[in-house]
Amino acid sequence: MTATSANPSMVETPGVAWRKQIRFALIGALSSVFIALAGMPVGLDGRSIIQPVLSMGFLSLLWVPFVMATLAGSEVVLEGMTARTRDSRDLLAGGIIGLGSAGGLVLLMVLIQNFNLRDPLVNWSPQLLNLLSFNRSLGVGALLWLLLGLILGVLGAAMHVLPKKLCSRIRTVVLSVLAVSVLETFLTDLLEGFGLEALTDFVYYKRGGLEVGGALLVAALALIIPLLVGTRIKDVKEQVVGLPAEERKRVNLILLAVSAALLLVLPFFLGKIANELLANVGLFVLLALGLNVVVGLAGILDLGYVAFFAVGGYTTAVLTSPNSPGFSPELPWPIALIVVVVITGIVGLFIGAPVIRMRGDYLAIVTLGFGEIIRLLFLSDWLSGWFGGAQGITNIPGVEVGIGTVKGTDPRSVFLLVLVFCAIAIYVSWRLENSRLGRAWMAIREDEDVAEAMGVNTTNTKLMAFVVGAVLASFSGAIFSAKVGSIFPTSFLMLVSIIILVVVIVGGMGNIAGVIVGALVLIGVLGGPKQPGLLQEFSQFKLLIYGALLVWMMLKRPEGLVPNVRRTRELHQEEFLQDAWLKGEIDTDDQEDLQ
Amino acid sequence: MLQITDLSVTFGGLHALKNLQFKVDEGEIVSVIGPNGAGKTTFFNMISGMVTPTAGDIVFEGESLLGLDPSQVTERGIARTFQNVRLFANMTILENVMVAQHCRTDQRVFGALFQTRAFKSEEDAIRNYGEEVLSFFGSRLVGYRLDQPASVLSYANRRRLEIARAMATRPRLLLLDEPVAGMNPRESAELTELIGRLRSEWGFTIVMIEHDMSVVRDVSDRVVVLDHGETIAQGPYSHVANDPKVIEAYLGRPVGSEQTDEEVRP
């Protein structure tokens, strides 16, 4: 009432929407049951987050009531409305959602105890029941779950009731603890590289997960560090933005040089596992950067991108391996690379030429087909004289550089090589984006007919995108085959194309930084098509999570994790225009004239 | 300059254009008018290569345009605007006019990657020419930050930007499809003057489709009237406006209703 009387033109948002709360409670219940039956609690139980207290398996269920309650509590405040003051009814609503989600699990437990549906549902097991009832009786387990659900649901709803600052603190702490736990392999590797075994021993439990003390330490740090640096980073940032363009450029260059130097030094402090992991991420960064040129800049939805990866890999194998069945010149890798780039470029032209004439859905399907055709050609008996069919090509030597050899058994050198090529790919994408060609690609993405009418030769320009994308993929292929040492058609399944595309979409289409973040998150944490990520236990749920992430992204954040400004504008045009109008940035001269 | 002979196009059984004869001389401003569905926009699409005629020939400066892609037509020196403004809405204002210079420039991957001197000077030239073209519209477009997306522009300014984009392709013949549609009287008067200056200062020959008769009267040297895909009259405005055939086809309604009638369009 006070808000309304203070400003009579403002309308309060309506109160708790109970119907919506009930809906979210049901969604929560269904999600919990689905996750339980997908086998996540059992499958992920082995991985602990905080040693005796919390495992990844339980976390896979516990987030549901919390997130559902938070989601259900968020309300849209339209222009001209004031957000209402939250009260205990909101907490009650959160509690209901929590109870609902937990209720789903309780129901599942009762059903598992009384019926046997193990035949269609593999995870309908006593093991799951045991886990869900905390190894106690069903009644105790059910009560515990309802209690947990209630608490988490209320907490979730409280995120809207508590002051914003406190909420963000809580979020930072929880996410830091989770992140430190997830990054365990990487961080222990790094810290041990600096000779800090004592610290890792204190923070991490020997067989995985944080120690309670370690978790508390991380939480404390997450609380204190923002307090100490908090505003200072912002101040420095503002200072830099305030600088004249010339100096800002210099600051940016220095920052770039420093981070490049750090990256180059990093591999020497990392152990085998972390280097291997980052090398894999780097290979996908390379692929994703290439696909980003094709999909993100030129707007050509290529679902068969793996074809170029395959051509790059196989050409390298044929040219360098002594075991290559047909033709075996045994070239050194750097020279082979030049040939590989040329050949992949030509293959890009050949595949591109027919494909480019199509648009939209047709184009996507045809590229999908070509991706498979290339793989099947490498697999076929017809060409097995050259490519070895299903036996593939083995014994591919590493990369001879002046100081040593880059090969799979030495992940550090592979990572360094990958870094160099990533740098090249980033430079190429960046320069091309801001050139005549890049503008033409954007114009084609916006409106192909008009681009053509404005003098852009769309066929050539799109072919160029295809070829640039192919060449970047061939780098990745060449490194891949030198790293693995052998090459088989099974490495180039359609799934790889899809995963690269997901990396680009989740990271942020059309944005170099986004693509790198996407690869780090997806390939680094969840794992690639065959490469394990930090969460090795996730491998069986990888595709499920990829899919869920993709759906969520498309609904809530179609511009990706690190969005490209232009792309965001495209996807949120209405909001953008509304904002611009409210800020008075849209010119309204014709309307003024009319009056 | 542009010579069109016996041009016909059929979509299925529909004759969009029938045996059209049309001619533009260097430095002329020609208006094409006609009731809705008369084939005016098809006529433009045909010249700019977006629709292939079923019969006839289009000769521009002694060279046939038949079988050329739209981009090649633009390269020959014909640029157009669209009836329903089609800007690259998410590119900036400046980028819109920069990309239009594509066929007049030729730096490729190599230049961009190695930042050659030729590449840099060409980028500067593209930028400068883009700004020059935009400055033609005076404070209308230059007052904006040129790095804003084209989508923030008002309707009238989008039309202006579209003309600027066509100008940036360095054409000799400019095809304007309803340049003042959706503008208020003051703005259309202003644009009328600008169309005159496009000829006098930039040396463009202009063919324009327009419904606003005051604009047609003020700028055109010659008016061509289309109806059902056929030319039914041509000549100076005063002559055409009094032609009984034109009045029947185009103005054949109670006096004063033609304006309101024509404003009902998407």
Are B123 and A590 a contacting pair at CB < 8 A?
no
pLDDT in tens, A378-435: 999 999 999 988 999 998 988 887 777 777 788 889 999 999 999 999 999 999 999 9
pLDDT in tens, A301-322: 999 999 999 999 999 999 999 9
pLDDT in tens, A197-223: 888 888 888 777 888 888 888 899 888
Looking at the structure, tell me whether residues A407 and A287 fall in a common domain.
yes
Q: Please indicate, yes or no, if residue A259 is contained in any of the structural domains.
A: no
Task: Name the residue facing A447 among B72, B88, B101 (closest C-beta).
Answer: B88
Are B144 and A587 a contacting pair at CB < 8 A?
yes
What average pLDDT does this structure show over B226-253?
82
Contact call for residues A172 and A226 (beta carbons, < 8 A): yes
The answer to whether A435 contacts chain B (CB < 8 Å) is: yes
Looking at the structure, tell me whether residues A232 and A289 fall in a common domain.
no
The answer to whether B188 contacts chain A (CB < 8 Å) is: no
The answer to whether B76 contacts chain A (CB < 8 Å) is: no
Q: Please indicate, yes or no, if residue A542 is contained in any of the structural domains.
A: no
Looking at the structure, tell me whether residues A200 and A322 fall in a common domain.
no
Looking at residue B12, what is its pLDDT? 82
Looking at the structure, tell me whether residues A117 and A172 fall in a common domain.
no
pLDDT in tens, A347-374: 999 999 999 888 888 999 999 999 999 9
Task: Name the residue facing B112 among A437, A446, A569 (closest C-beta).
Answer: A437
Higher pLDDT, B264 or A152: A152
What is the number of residues in chain B? Answer: 266
Q: Please indicate, yes or no, if residue A515 is contained in any of the structural domains.
A: no
Check whether B235 has a pLDDT greater than 50.
Answer: yes
Q: Please indicate, yes or no, if residue A535 is contained in any of the structural domains.
A: no
Looking at the structure, tell me whether residues A315 and A230 fall in a common domain.
no
Task: Tally Cβ neighbours within 10 Å of residue B120.
Answer: 12
Are B50 and A440 a contacting pair at CB < 8 A?
no
Contact call for residues B223 and B230 (beta carbons, < 8 A): no
Contact call for residues A530 and A318 (beta carbons, < 8 A): no
What average pLDDT does this structure show over B143-151?
77
A312-326, A414-428, A494-508, B130-144 — which is least confidently predicted? B130-144
Task: Tally Cβ neighbours within 10 Å of residue A191.
Answer: 18
ipTM of the complex as predicted: 0.90
Looking at the structure, tell me whether residues A326 and A457 fall in a common domain.
yes
Looking at residue A224, what is its pLDDT? 87
Looking at the structure, tell me whether residues A275 and A207 fall in a common domain.
no
Looking at residue A594, what is its pLDDT? 40
**Taking CB atoms and an 8 Å cutoff, what residues of chain B touch A588?**
154
Looking at residue B263, what is its pLDDT? 43
Check whether A44 has a pLDDT greater than 70.
Answer: yes
For the whole model, what pTM was predicted?
0.87
Domain total of chain A: 4
Q: Is B23 helix (H, G, I), strand (E, B) or coil?
A: strand
Looking at the structure, tell me whether residues A468 and A582 fall in a common domain.
no
Looking at residue A280, what is its pLDDT? 92
| pLDDT-based confidence at residue B257 (cuts at 50, 70, 90) | very low
**Dist CA A276 CA A104 (whole Å):** 41
Question: Chain B residue closest to A570 (CA)?
Answer: B90
Q: What is the DSSP string of A215-232?
A: HHHHHHHHHHHHHHHHHH
Query: What's the one-letter identity of residue B41?
Result: T
User: What b-and-e string marks burial along B18-52, b requiring 16 or more CB atoms within 10 Å of the CB?
Assistant: bebebebeeebbbbbbbbeebbbbbbbbbbbbbbe
Chain A (209-228) residues lying within 8 Å, Cβ to Cβ, of chain B: none
Name the nearest CA neighbour of A224 among A182, A156, A176, A190: A176
What average pLDDT does this structure show over A539-559?
87
Looking at the structure, tell me whether residues A140 and A168 fall in a common domain.
no
Quick one: tokens of A498?
Answer: 């899809």
Could you list the residue range(s) of the whole structural domain that residue A575 is in? Answer: 565-595
Quick one: tokens of A49?
Answer: 């987050």
Q: Last residue of a domain, which of A443, A460, A493?
A: A493
Which of B75, B93, B109 is the best residue to mutate to test the A interface, defined by the most A CB atoms within 10 Å of its own CB?
A: B109
Are B152 and A593 a contacting pair at CB < 8 A?
no
Task: Name the residue facing A454 among B100, B156, B184 (closest C-beta).
Answer: B100
Are A591 and B154 a contacting pair at CB < 8 A?
yes
Task: Name the residue facing B90 among A458, A570, A591 (closest C-beta).
Answer: A570
Q: In the A/B pair of chains, how many CB contacts fall below 8 A? A: 140
What CATH class does B2-263 carry?
alpha beta
Contact call for residues A316 and A396 (beta carbons, < 8 A): yes
**Taking CB atoms and an 8 Å cutoff, what residues of chain B touch A585?**
148, 152
Q: Last residue of a domain, which of A493, A510, A532?
A: A493
Q: Please indicate, yes or no, if residue A507 is contained in any of the structural domains.
A: no
Looking at residue A9, what is its pLDDT? 56
Question: Chain A residue closest to B94 (CA)?
Answer: A439
The answer to whether B103 contacts chain A (CB < 8 Å) is: yes
Chain B (149-168) residues lying within 8 Å, Cβ to Cβ, of chain A: 149, 151-157, 165-166
User: What b-and-e string marks burial along A79-92, b requiring 16 or more CB atoms within 10 Å of the CB?
Assistant: eeeeebebeeebbb
Question: Chain A residue closest to B48 (CA)?
Answer: A453
The backbone region for A208, taken as left when phi is positive above 0, alpha when psi lies in -120 to 50, beta otherwise, is left
Looking at residue B261, what is its pLDDT? 44
Contact call for residues B86 and B158 (beta carbons, < 8 A): no
Looking at the structure, tell me whether residues A364 and A439 fall in a common domain.
yes
Looking at the structure, tell me whether residues A181 and A288 fall in a common domain.
no
Looking at the structure, tell me whether residues A344 and A456 fall in a common domain.
yes
Q: Last residue of a domain, which of A162, A185, A210?
A: A162
Looking at residue A461, what is its pLDDT? 94
Q: How many secondary structure helices (H) and strands (E) does chain A include?
A: 27, 6
Looking at residue A374, what is its pLDDT? 94
Question: Chain B residue closest to A447 (CA)?
Answer: B88
The answer to whether A330 contacts chain B (CB < 8 Å) is: no
| pLDDT-based confidence at residue A6 (cuts at 50, 70, 90) | very low
Mean pLDDT of all residues in chain A? 87
Task: Name the residue facing A446 among B70, B90, B184 (closest C-beta).
Answer: B90
**Dist CA A1 CA B208 (whole Å):** 61
What average pLDDT does this structure show over A452-470?
94
Check whether A457 has a pLDDT greater than 50.
Answer: yes
A325-339, A574-588, B130-144 — which is least confidently predicted? A574-588
Check whether A83 has a pLDDT greater than 90.
Answer: no
**Dist CA A280 CA A83 (whole Å):** 47
| pLDDT-based confidence at residue A4 (cuts at 50, 70, 90) | very low
